DNA sequence: TGGCCATTTACATATATGTATAAATAATTC
DNA sequence: GAATTATTTATACATATATGTAAATGGCCA
């Protein structure tokens, strides 16, 4: 019963349940949840009852099924509404994904790592699995370095000091070497990283224009290095067009 | 440290945090959460870190603030899109609006309230402003009671108990009195409520036939009571025809 | 009625919470 | 710029609480 990751079990399960609902989009029985998510029945019952008591699920006692209430729908709605322009971001991702049919993702800085927060996969056979929540070393990975390029030199130095202090050695980096790369990104407006995290995998990443209160975001197109190299001009053009169309109007 | 309600503590806190974000709509520090929600610092830290690890919040280490990711925004989105994916409902609203030129709306249950999710206004001078997102007391309002009429008596009793427990007094109701009204709706197939929320305003509401897995919806025609009374037969006939034409094929 | 489900209960164990304390970081002062 | 103070975050461990196993209850249909 060891917690494999560092998250509180109940917290993880709440979100697992909500995502399962998002996946199947219909009422679900206690049995189905406990089976699919592999929770003991009694634990699943306690969790779902809690969510009902709090008003986030509705229990249909006739069919013995649970279904999200509108409170769930409302919860994050404000993030989409104009203020943060996040619906524009989603449209951008959709657009690039539609045009290129490659892995398209949005990532942001989460402490000393870059973290994927939204991913659309390619329909092609050869692909690399990435899911929202996955993290990459800030100073090493393509998206991480692209995120860093938006910081001031002072901030970068400070972040790198912390990385070298607390992160495992494979995430360490020399400042001079890093700044050469960072300045390259600032000059080119994008980063093309190859074979860094996963052999044969690469990513073309661009820092998105900053919106108020929004954290800096990076748009990434990922895939096998050979495919990215072949399509590089097309990919860059598409990313630039998407950004111009959805984020600059 | 007794749990006053029957819900799992972590579950309650997850939602409290998300609602606090919804309330203030900006990045929040650990300190602020722990103060406002009255959690011990270390517990709040563990909770927020979990949410970061799971990809639902991101942490800005420079400002030491937390902010929801787009995953939160996406979570309940399907609940909204599902409603309108079914264009039959929209066609129905258009039809009734065209025929009657009155305020026509669709509402649904959102926890312990009815909530308008779609409205078309009349072109007449005398009108009552209602917009999508507005909520009405479930046990008091016409649309709320119409929604309740689709539940079993047991469910109604349970909902009413929660309403009387957590909602302000003006939304409370006696079960016997409510059931008389509910049974009237079930018998007549519609509800005509007058002067309940806004003086001189009324609504004629019908529960729409349930579609698979879609949440129960209510079709409402609203306006000044005098006008609705005058046109009552015409309005009812139009609503019935629209429902027959668009939802029963 | 009896059999077969799904759900609830009981209780030992695992795990999250909360108090106090320490460490780290930021702000202030000289 | 270094030292000091104030603020915020992290750690340790006892306690409270949720989880999980197994057995019991309740509902439904033949």
Q: Which protein residues have their Cβ less than 7 angstroms from some atom of strand C?
A: A 1-3, 8-10, 29-31, 41-42, 45, 49, 64, 162; B 1, 9-10, 13, 39-43, 46-47, 62
Q: How far is CA B237 from CA B33, B144, B231, B241, in A?
A: 54, 22, 10, 6
Question: Nearest nucleotide, C1' to the C-alpha of A1?
Answer: C14
Q: Do B54 and A115 touch (CB under 8 A)?
A: no
Greatest alpha-carbon pair distance for chain B in Å reads 65
A119, two tokens: 């991913």
What are the backbone dihedrals phi and psi of residue B192, each rounded to the nearest 5 degrees, phi first? Answer: -115, 105
Residue A92 has pLDDT above 70, yes or no: yes
What is d(CA A232, CA A238) in angstroms, rounded to the nearest whole number? Answer: 10
Residue A105 has pLDDT above 60, yes or no: yes
Res A184: pLDDT:
96
What is d(CA A200, CA A53) in angstroms, rounded to the nearest whole number? Answer: 49
What is d(CA A30, CA B4) in angstroms, rounded to the nearest whole number? Answer: 25
Homologous superfamily of domain range B78-247: GAF domain (3.30.450.40)
Positions 45-104 in B, CB within 7 angstroms of strand D: 45, 49, 64
Q: Average of pLDDT values for B91-103?
A: 93
Question: Could you write out the three-class secondary structure of A108-157?
Answer: EEECCEEEEEEEECCCCCCCCCCCCCCEEECCCCHHHHHHHCCCCHHHHH
Res A97: pLDDT:
94
Hey, is the C-beta of A93 within 8 angstroms of any chain B C-beta? no
Residue A213 has pLDDT above 60, yes or no: no
Residue B205 has pLDDT above 60, yes or no: yes
The answer to whether domain A79-247 has CATH 3.10.20.600 is no
Residue A80 has pLDDT above 80, yes or no: no
Residue A1 has pLDDT above 50, yes or no: no
Q: How many CA atoms lie within 13 A of A93 on its CB side?
A: 22
Residue to mutate among A62, A68, A73, A115, with most B CBs inside 10 A, is: A73
Residue A7 has pLDDT above 70, yes or no: yes
What is d(CA B177, CA A191) in angstroms, rounded to the nearest whole number? Answer: 68
Residue with tokens 């495992």: A168
Domain limits, CATH 3.30.450.40, in chain B: 78-247
B39, two tokens: 């959690």
Alpha-carbon distance A209 to nearest alpha carbon in chain B (angstroms): 17
Residue A188 has pLDDT above 90, yes or no: yes
Hey, is the C-beta of A118 within 8 angstroms of any chain B C-beta? yes
Span A221-246, pLDDT tens digits: 999 999 999 999 999 999 999 999 88
Domain limits, CATH 1.10.10.10, in chain B: 9-74
Question: Nearest nucleotide, C1' to the C-alpha of B38?
Answer: C18
Q: Edge-to-edge, what's the strand order for the sheet holding A28-29?
A: A28-29, A65-68, A57-60
Q: What is the pTM of this model?
A: 0.69
Residue B169's Cβ-count burial label (10 Å; 0-12, 13-18, 19+) is: exposed
* Window A:140-159, CB contacts with B under 8 Å: 155, 159
Span B63-86, pLDDT tens digits: 678 888 777 877 877 777 655 555
Q: Say whether A214 sits in a helix, a strand or coil.
A: coil
A20 with A33: CB under 8 angstroms?
yes
What is d(CA B144, CA B147) in angstroms, rounded to the nearest whole number? Answer: 5
Residue A174 has pLDDT above 50, yes or no: yes
CATH code, residues A9-75: 1.10.10.10
Class of domain B9-74: mainly alpha
Q: Which of B5, B19, B50 sits opposite A8 (nearest CB)?
A: B50
Domain limits, CATH 1.10.10.10, in chain A: 9-75
């Amino acid at each position: 019963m060891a917690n494999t990751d560092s998250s509180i079990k109940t917290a993880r399960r709440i979100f697992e349940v909500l995502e399962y609902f998002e996946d199947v989009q219909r009422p679900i029985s206690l049995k189905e949840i406990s089976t699919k998510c592999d929770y003991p029945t009694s634990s699943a019952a306690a969790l779902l009852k809690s969510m009902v008591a709090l008003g986030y699920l509705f229990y249909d006692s006739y069919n013995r099924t649970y279904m999200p209430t509108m409170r769930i729908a409302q919860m994050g709605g404000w993030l989409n509404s104009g203020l943060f322009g996040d619906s524009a971001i989603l449209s951008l991702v959709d657009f690039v994904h539609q045009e290129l049919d490659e892995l398209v993702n949005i990532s942001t800085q989460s402490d000393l790592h870059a973290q994927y927060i939204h991913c659309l996969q390619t329909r092609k056979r050869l692909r690399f699995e990435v899911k929202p929540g996955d993290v990459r070393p800030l100073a090493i990975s393509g998206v991480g370095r692209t995120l860093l390029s938006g910081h001031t030199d002072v901030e970068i130095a400070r972040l790198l000091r912390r990385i070298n202090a607390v992160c495992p050695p494979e995430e360490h980096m020399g400042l001079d070497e890093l700044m050469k790369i960072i300045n390259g990104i600032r000059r080119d407006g994008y980063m093309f990283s190859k074979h860094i995290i996963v052999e044969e995998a690469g990513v073309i990443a661009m820092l998105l224009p900053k919106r108020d209160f929004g954290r800096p975001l990076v748009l990434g197109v990922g895939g096998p290095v050979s495919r990215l190299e072949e399509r590089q001009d097309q990919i860059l053009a598409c990313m630039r067009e998407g950004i111009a169309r959805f984020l600059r109007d």
